[in-house]
């Protein structure tokens, strides 16, 4: 079933597996030289998505548009797209742009400028083979597991969505490597793949009863209960 396109760009059409590559290619052409793009989210993984979420590096954006604030650089990027005849607008920290989809229409692309975008990308790249997959739910699970975990260097940990695993007291980065994060917040044998979706995560937690029960009782007792029972 085709869903509605992104709402920030009224003319936008849905993203499909068929047109995703064309959108990426045309986006790279539209971006100023010197800015790399890092797609995240469900587009290109699910049959249909409403828009494409893309990280760009804040440092690169400020190199291209050397202004005093990131906010001003976003404004400059918006004007850059508009000067190319593309529909673009800003909402919050995002710049939205309508990118040709190779099929005569446009797709909505939501660009977010963050520090170390390349390192942040894996933290927002998930396994959508689970039809119930929701990125927000998965990130909340990671955050809860981080709260229950520790390292020899950090007694208290937290997950920063765009940085990685952080020492809660000092705010220093512990690691942004997804395999290393998995071993800390799940267990020594865990890998990045175990963090890919809620079903995989719960399965990987089975050897660790305290964490398993905490996550299952909080999350699976609602939207996931029946689905999980069907897998047993």
Note the pLDDT of residue 223. Answer: 54
- The number of domains in the chain is 2
Measured between alpha carbons, how far is 123 from 160 in angstroms, rounded to an integer? 10
The closest of 84, 111, 114 to 8, measured between CA atoms, is 111
Please check whether residues 92 and 31 belong to one and the same domain.
yes
What confidence category does residue 222 fall into, taking pLDDT thresholds of 50, 70 and 90? Answer: low
Q: Indicate the average pLDDT of the chain.
A: 89
Q: What is the pLDDT of residues 96-137, one digit of tens each?
A: 999 999 999 999 999 999 999 999 999 998 888 876 677 888
Please check whether residues 146 and 60 belong to one and the same domain.
no
Residue at 3 is within a domain: no
Strand-pairing partners, residue 111, are: 54, 95
Q: Cβ(170)–Cβ(161) under 8 Å?
A: no
Note the pLDDT of residue 226. Answer: 53
Q: What is the pLDDT of residues 61-84, one digit of tens each?
A: 999 999 999 999 999 999 999 999
Q: Tell me if residue 191 falls in helix, strand or coil.
A: coil
Q: Tell me if residue 16 falls in helix, strand or coil.
A: strand
Which of 121, 148, 169 is where one domain is finished?
Answer: 121
Please check whether residues 140 and 212 belong to one and the same domain.
yes
Measured between alpha carbons, how far is 166 from 173 in angstroms, rounded to an integer? 4
Note the pLDDT of residue 220. Answer: 76
Note the pLDDT of residue 58. Answer: 95
Which of 121, 155, 181 is where one domain is finished?
Answer: 121
Range of the domain at 47: 15-121
Note the pLDDT of residue 135. Answer: 80
Q: What is the pLDDT of residues 131-178, one digit of tens each?
A: 667 788 899 999 999 999 998 888 899 999 889 999 999 999 999 999
> Looking at the predicted structure, is the pLDDT value of residue 232 above 80?
no
Please check whether residues 23 and 114 belong to one and the same domain.
yes
Note the pLDDT of residue 230. Answer: 52
Residue at 230 is within a domain: no
Which of 121, 153, 174 is where one domain is finished?
Answer: 121
Structure tokens given for 213 = 């029960």
Measured between alpha carbons, how far is 126 from 123 in angstroms, rounded to an integer? 8
What confidence category does residue 46 fall into, taking pLDDT thresholds of 50, 70 and 90? Answer: confident
């Amino acid at each position: 079933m085709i869903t509605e396109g992104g709402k920030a760009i009224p003319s936008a059409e849905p993203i499909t597996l068929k047109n995703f590559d064309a959108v990426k290619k045309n986006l790279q052409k539209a971006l100023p030289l010197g800015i790399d793009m890092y797609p995240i989210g469900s587009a290109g993984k699910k049959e249909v998505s409403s828009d494409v979420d893309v990280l760009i590096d804040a440092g690169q954006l400020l190199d291209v548009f050397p202004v005093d604030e990131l906010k001003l650089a976003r404004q400059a990027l918006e004007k850059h797209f508009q000067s190319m005849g593309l529909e673009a607008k800003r909402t919050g920290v995002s710049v939205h742009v309508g990118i040709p989809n190779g099929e005569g229409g446009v797709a909505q692309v939501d660009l977010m400028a963050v520090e170390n975008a390349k390192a942040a990308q894996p933290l927002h790249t998930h396994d959508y083979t689970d039809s119930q997959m929701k990125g927000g739910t998965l990130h909340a699970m990671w955050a809860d597991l981080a709260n229950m975990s520790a390292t020899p260097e950090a007694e208290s940990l937290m997950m920063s969505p765009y940085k990685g695993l952080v020492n809660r007291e000092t705010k220093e980065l512990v690691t942004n490597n997804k395999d290393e994060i998995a071993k800390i917040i799940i267990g020594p044998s865990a890998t990045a793949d175990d963090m890919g979706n809620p079903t995989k995560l719960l399965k990987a937690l089975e050897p660790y009863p305290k964490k398993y029960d905490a996550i299952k009782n909080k999350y699976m007792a609602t939207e996931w209960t029946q689905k999980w029972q069907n897998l047993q």
